[in-house]
Amino acid sequence: MTFITRYILPILLAAFAALTASASDTASEIDYVPQFGGVARIRWEMATSQGMAGDNRFAIQNARVWVKGNIARPVQYYLRADLCAQGSFKFLDGWARFSTSPWLGLQAGQFRIPFGLDSFRGPGTYIFANRSFIGRDLANNRAVGIQAMSSLPEIPLCLELGVFSPHSITDHTGWSRDMTFAAKCVLDLTPVKVTVGYQTLEPDSVRFNMANAGMTLSLGRFTAEAEYMYKHYTNSAFRPCHAYNVWADYTLPVRGAFFNSLGFQARYDGNTPHSTGRRNSDGLLTANHPRRQRITTGVTLSYVYKRMRCDLLIDYEKYFYHDSFTPSHDRGDKIVAELVFVF
C-alpha cells in the first residue's frame, strides 16, 4: 500500500531516530542475566454431542518456554517457542526492543500483531480452556515486522503502530508491496480499561479491513469483559463478518490442601460467517467458519505461589450452529478438563 510506504514507514523511522537521539550515556545498573519461564497445558476432552459416552482424547496443548533479557541499556530481547503444540513444534516470538525513552519504544522481529483484546492472552492467562472465536479464529495473527510503542507519562494511554510482512511466519523470504498495517490503543481508567484497534491485511489477493473495540471491568474479585470485532472485505469479495465475546469471572480465596483460589466463569461468544481471506481453487472466498454461537461455563481451582501457578480448569461448551451445519468434535459440544502449570 502506498499509504504505508509514504506515511507509516517514515513515522517508524522517525521514532527510531528519536530513540537513538535520546539514548543516555549515564551509567546505570542493568541486569544482563537472562530470565526464563514457561507454561504447560495438559488436557482431557470428551465430546458430548452424542451423550455422555462420547469420544475422548488427551493432548499436550502447549509446552511453551521463553527467555528474555537485556543486551544494553536501551535494548531488550525476547524469544519464545512452543515445544509441543498438540504434538508439533512452533517458533512463536523473536524480537528486539529499543526503549531508551520512558515514553517511546521501537520493536522489530516476529511477534503478535497489535490488534485485538482476547487474542493477546497467552496459555498462562487464558480465562477458559479454549479461546474465544475472536482470539482463535479472527485475530490470531503473528507476523514479521516493526512497530512503535508510545506510553504517555501523564495520561494512562498506550499506543502501538506497526507494519508487517503479509506472509506466513514460516516464510520469511517472500517479497510484497501489500504490507499488513495495524494500530492499537489502550486507555486504562482503573477499574475500566478500554481497547480499540484497526488492522488491514491481504493474505492472498483480497484485502480486508478489521476494527475492534473492547472494555474490561475489574472490581476486586469480579472481572467482566466485552469485545466486538468487524471484518470488511474489499470489492464485496465476501459479506462482512461480525464477532463478539462477553465473559465474566468471579474468583475468591479458599483454604484447601492443594488450592488457594476458586473461580467461576461464564462466556457467550459468536460470529457470522467468516473467511480467512484465502481463495479456493475457483478463485473465490468461502466461509471457513460458519455462523455460530457458544455458551461456556467453567470452574477454576488454582494454587498460586509468587510467580508460579497451577490451575485446574473444568469447562463445558455448548455450541449453536445454523444452516444445518454438522460440526466435528473439535467444534462441537464438549467437556474440557485441563491442568495448567506456569513457572
Q: What global pTM score does this model have?
A: 0.88
> How far apart, in whole angstroms, are the C-alpha atoms of residue 220 and residue 134?
26
Q: What pLDDT shows up at residue 252?
A: 96
Using CA atoms, how far apart are residues 240 and 275, in angstroms rounded to an integer?
9
pLDDT digits (tens, 9 = 90+) for 279-332: 988 888 999 999 999 999 999 999 999 889 999 999 999 999 987 788 888 899
Q: What are phi and psi of 309, to 5 degrees?
A: -150, 145
Tell me the pLDDT band of 24, cut-offs 50, 70 and 90: very low
Alpha-carbon distance of 319 to 333, in angstroms, equals 6
| Chain centre distance of CA 192 | 20
Tell me phi and psi for residue 241, to 5 degrees: -110, 135
Alpha-carbon gap, residue 142 to 135, rounded angstroms: 12
Length of the chain in residues, anyone?
A: 343
Segments in 207-327 forming alpha helices (H)? none
Q: What is the pLDDT of residue 81?
A: 98
Residue 129 near residue 338 (C-beta atoms within 8 A)? yes
Can you read off the three cell numbers belonging to residue 292? 455460530
Residue with the bigger pLDDT between 330 and 65: it is 65
Q: Which of 203, 315, 312 is nearest to 256 (CA)?
A: 312
**Residue 51: pLDDT over 70:** no
Beta strands in the chain (DSSP E): 35-47, 56-72, 75-85, 88-101, 104-112, 142-151, 157-164, 180-189, 192-201, 208-219, 222-233, 241-253, 261-271, 292-305, 308-321, 334-342
Nearest-angstrom CA–CA distance, 157 and 18:
20
- Tell me what the mean pLDDT of segment 118-135 comes to: 96
Q: Which three cell numbers stand for residue 330?
A: 473439535
The rounded percent of the chain whose pLDDT value lies above 90 is: 75
Identity of the amino acid at 120: F
CA distance 320 to 272: 12
Span 204-256, pLDDT tens digits: 889 999 999 999 999 999 999 999 999 999 999 999 999 999 999 999 999 88
pLDDT tens by residue, 180-211: 999 999 999 999 999 999 999 998 889 999 99
Is pLDDT above 80 for 19?
A: no
pLDDT of res. 250: 98
Rounded CA-CA distance 106/163 in Å is 12
Give the span between the Cα atoms of 150 and 236, in whole angstroms.
35
d(CA 10, CA 323): 48
CA distance 127 to 241: 24
